[in-house]
Amino acid sequence: MNGIGRLIARDLRLAWAGGGIVNPVAFFLLVAILFPFAVGPDIVLLARIGGGVIWAAALLAALLPVERLIGPDAESGVFDQLGVRGFSMAGVAAAKMLAHWLSFAPPLMLAAVVAAGLLGLPAATLGRVELGLLIGTPGLAALALATSALIAGMRGAGALAGLLMLPLAVPLLIFGAGALEGGAGALKLLGAVSLVLVAGAPFVAGAAMRVAME
């Protein structure tokens, strides 16, 4: 296994150990369960807004572990030790992004099936939600990582993370929910936004990590 592979394996192990996989999924399902309580058990209404609910819940779930993605490693000197061993911070950030996606997106997509059942979504809508999540969650992982690097070492970072990340996630939400109406164009735009975020986030996060190290 090469260095980047070891970093991804380490982050996945830490995510498992820290409840980083169970928590977002439980949170996601809880939001999906709470929604019918708020809008009433109208099955037609729920089926219509259910896809959007799943998207909003996915966004919040991706944000949950944002404080432990970069901050603890910056504090405990892990990035210094990696830097000494010749790793670029952008490479480390890319590994962390991939590990974050692996730890939250597949479980979330499984949980979305349960949520769809709870909200009474038709099978066709569920299919589009799953496809949208597959395309959009890498973008969410990228945003979470970049946000995490920008807020590392700050006090009260969690609230700030929400303020930073949620507005930037709006395009993902628009095109993700838009794809539910059956627009292939929305899926393509979702893919484009996701790709831009995935391509840019390691460099943004890497730069923030380097600044924090100095």
Partner 1 sequence: MADPDQPPRLAFHGVTGARGGRTLFERLSFILAPGDAALVTGPNGVGKSSLLRIAAGLLAPAEGLVEAPRCAVMAEAAALDPGQTLAAALRFWAALDPVPAPKDRVAAALAATGLAALASVPVRLLSTGQRRRAALARVVASRAPLWLLDEPANGLDTASVSTLEALVADHRARGGIAVVATHTDVTLPGAHRIAL
Phi/psi at 182 (nearest 5 deg)? 95, 20
Site residues (vs partner 1, CB under 8 A): 1, 3, 6, 10, 14, 17, 75-78, 80-87, 213-214
Residue placing its CB nearer to partner 1 in the complex, 53 or 93: 93
Structure tokens at 109: 């997509």
Q: Cα–Cα distances in Å, from 101 out to 86, 90, 123, 181, 190?
A: 24, 16, 25, 26, 16
User: At its nearest, how many Å lie between partner 1 and the CB of residue 15?
Assistant: 12
Nearer to partner 1, 15 or 46 (CB): 15
Cβ-Cβ contacts under 8 Å for 28 (sequence gap 6 or more): 57, 58, 60, 61, 108, 111, 112, 115
CB nearer partner 1, residue 76 or residue 163: 76
Between 63 and 92, CB nearer to partner 1: 92
Residue 86, classified by CB atoms within 10 Å of its CB into exposed (0-12), middle (13-18) or buried (19+), is exposed
Cβ closest to partner 1, residue 28 vs residue 79: 79
Q: What is the largest CA-CA distance in the chain?
A: 59
Min CB(177)–partner 1 separation in Å: 38
User: Measured from the CB of residue 211, what is the shortest distance to partner 1 in angstroms?
Assistant: 11
Least CB distance to partner 1 at residue 13 (A): 8
CB of 3 to partner 1, least distance (A): 5
